[in-house]
Amino acid sequence: MSTIEIQASSRSDLGKGASRRLRHAEKIPAVLYGGGEDAVSLEIEHRIVFKAQEQESFYSQVLNLVVDGKATDVIVKDMQRHPFKPKVMHVDFQRVVAGQSLHTTVGIHFVNEEAAAKKGGVVAHHISEIEIACEPKDLPEFIEVDVAGLEVGQTLHLSDIKFPAGVTSVELAKGESHDGAVVTLDKPKVDSSDDAEESEEA
């Protein structure tokens, strides 16, 4: 998988008015922070970010952010979108340092759902992403959860998930009480109208 590169420029014109002017110019404001260095305000061409964010790896992989010609390894910590227009409004980037643990969120890929559903149940997702801790080199693009072994009425929790080497769950690290549900093979719902008809026939 190739690394996503984002070209950006530092900016000194700050504030809401400056951000509005950027957006009118088809650019977006952004900020780079972390790694023991000062925060830097940035501007990025909207089309660059909009195209990059269409890839799932944009949110879960180390990106190559090039600011005024200097490359820095970063992850996306936050991104604000327009409430109804297909536009990105702001992006927060965090520097990553080799050998230092980072916290981020990655999506879940559920596999073998059809096999589970053939058992007569309905697959119900409780969460769609997991907060993890790992070194940059171990950062996975997603966490795979195999539901083939689920029986009707059974739930997989965070402690049941097999995380890649070097990756841990942030929630599980807080204790057993944070072992949240991930996915359940629910019993199929019975149509109340069918129940009523059966009662009348009886």
* DSSP 8-state code for residue 55: S
Q: What span, in angstroms and rounded, lies between the C-alpha atoms of 36 and 21?
A: 30
- In order of 79, 103, 178, the CA distances from 183 in angstroms are 27, 23, 15
Count of helices and strands (H, E) across the chain: 5, 13
Give the helix ranges, DSSP H, for 93-190: 113-117
pLDDT score for 193: 54
In sequence order, the 6+-apart residues with CB closer than 8 A to the CB of 83 are none
pLDDT score for 117: 87
87: tokens are 């536009």
pLDDT score for 42: 92
pLDDT score for 12: 75
Please report the domains of the chain, with CATH numbers, ordered by start residue.
5-97 (2.40.240.10), 103-186 (2.170.120.20)
List the chain residues with pLDDT less than 70. Answer: 1-2, 14-15, 18-24, 190-202
Q: What span, in angstroms and rounded, lies between the C-alpha atoms of 89 and 176?
A: 38
On whether the pTM is more than 0.85, the answer is no
pLDDT score for 135: 92
CA-closest candidate to residue 50, choices 87, 91, 102: 87
Q: What does R_g of the chain's alpha carbons equal in angstroms?
A: 22
pLDDT score for 179: 96
Query: Tokens 């909009």, residue?
Result: 50
* DSSP 8-state code for residue 173: G
69 Cα distance to chain centroid:
28
pLDDT score for 108: 94
